[in-house]
Structure 1
Amino acid sequence: MTKAASIPDKYLRAFSKADINEMPLRRYEGPITVVRTEKQRTMALKEMEGEPLLGFDTETRPVFKKGRKPGPPSLIQLATAERAYVFQINILKLCNGICDLLADPSVVKTGVAVRDDIIGLQRLANFKPANFVDLSDITAKAKLQTHGLRNMAANLLGFRISKSAQCSNWSKEKLTPQQVNYAATDAWVSRELYIALDDLGLIKK
């Protein structure tokens, strides 16, 4: 089921900003682990062992000067069915354990614009990415009119997510609760969108 004609019409329309703003606001309400020590990293990786599907995202400190390129990501977020993990990789180096997970072909890592995220992460560590699924590629092939995370959430999940913390300082040593939840929400929504697209028969296994 990959043709647009086989997808219910309600998923094929475009969403305006006004349409999205009328939808209920949702955020991730499950447990979140902020990982900033080696002990926390070891525990988080152990807890994620055997997970077949992870929501994935990164956050990078924004650049406001014209012509200046952004630095590498400050955070990497991964979400399981039970918990979201926010790794502060600007404090705790991107280690072999996380790189091994990103290179594991048995684990699906799914998000939006994942190529850019991977390029940013490869500035910090050498790894060969495996089994990353870009949700935007799937919706584009299916002729859906929604490709960004916020638009896809509105279309496929029926709610809006906040983008208010998007341009905050992600390289801070101590993140605010708002930042932590924003970061976790993006990874959680990515995982939920993958499941929704799979339910529509749009995920090629």
Structure 2
Amino acid sequence: MTPWVATLEKAALQCILIFTNTARNHPGLNALSTITMIDIEQYRRKISKDEINELPLQGYEGDIMLVTNEEDAEYAVNEIADEPLLGFDTESRPAFKKGMYFLPSLIQIATSSKVYIFQLSKTPFPEALRAIFEDKKVIKSGVAVRDDVKDLQKLEPFKDAGFLDLGAIALEHKLETHGLRNLAAKFLGIRISKAARCTNWANKSLTKAQIRYAATDAWISRELFLQMNDAGLIPTNGNGKKPKKK
């Protein structure tokens, strides 16, 4: 194995857990052979905006649960609890002035069968989510999750574990594509809408377009993990095994 391949594999393995105290003792860090170095050149080529715009527009069309109170949160977490892999994302109110900044208004979590949207403008950070966010055995997959986690910890401190940044993994594999929209185009062959991105996510009443946009981002985050996993780009998790598909 050439030095650059070994370095690449080790760096990718180190991305599996974000901000965890156990990362240095992660059992996968010494298992440099866990990633199959397939021909990833097909994924390294940069995809153009014109190519993306030619792809079919796709959004999430499955079940969605809006979580607006503690009772809803407990119900949702009970349904989420048995899932080994979750798509994860947040949405924050856009800031149009320099220096202005808003913490997340939504937390979106996708399972194999449903997307849950926790509306923080109606209910505080759900205490029931803490156990999931602190469970290293449950993978929370997304893009640019580092900032999302930090912002959520400003709302409610928790010891995060099991968060995986697909953008960081793409970067470690020297892919030109890192963002959610571009990764969806590259790995899933679809185009996702950005129309609702700059809307007010702090509104107590969300539009259908906002709900679908938010659900789509979490759903894509989960689907991307599965596709990148099949491509051999995802390192093993804390149990030394890749999560089973559902």
TM-score (norm 2): 0.80
Partner of 1:46: 78
Q: 2:135 corresponds to which residue?
A: 104
C-alpha distance in 2, partners of 1:64/1:137?
27
- Determine if the alignment matches structure 1 residue 117 to structure 2 residue 148: yes
Counterpart in the other structure of 1:143:
174
2:59 is matched with 27
90-99 vs 179-188, greater mean Cα deviation: 90-99
CA distance in 2, matches of 1:161, 1:148: 12
For the residues of structure 2 that align with 1:96 and 1:38, how far apart are their CA atoms? 8
Larger Rg: 2
Matched residue, 1:91: 122
Contact 2:86 2:138 in 1 (8 A): yes
Secondary structure of the residue that 1:57 maps to in structure 2?
A: strand
Q: What do residues 136-172 of structure 1 show as CA deviations (whole Å, max 9, x unaligned)?
A: 1111111111100000000000011001100000000
Instruction: Measure how far apart 1:8 and its partner are.
Output: 4.4
1:5 CA displacement: 6.8
- CA distance, structure 1, for counterparts of residue 49 and residue 99 of structure 2: 29
1:98-117 CA distance string (max 9 Å, x none): 12211111100010110100
Q: Which residue of 2 aligns with 1:169?
A: 200
Cα offsets for 1:172-205 (capped at 9, x unmatched): 0010010001000000000000011110111111
d(CA) in 2 for partners of 1:199 and 1:63?
38
Overall identity of the aligned pairs, in %? 49
Residue equivalent to 1:133: 164
Pairs aligned (count):
204
RMSD of aligned Cα (Å)? 1.6
- Cα offsets for 1:20-46 (capped at 9, x unmatched): 001000000110001002221111011
Distance in 2, Cα, partners of 1:84 & 1:135: 19
SS in 1 for 2:234: coil
Unpaired runs of at least 5, structure 2 = 10-34, 237-246
Counterpart Cα distance in 2 of 1:150 and 1:110: 15
User: Partner amino acid for 2:77?
Assistant: L
On the 8 A contact 1:79/1:184 being kept in 2, the answer is yes
Task: Flag as ranges the 4+ runs of structure 1 deviating above 2 A.
Answer: 1-10
CA distance in 2, matches of 1:90, 1:7: 46
- Does structure 2 retain, via aligned residues, the 8 Å contact 1:73–1:90? no
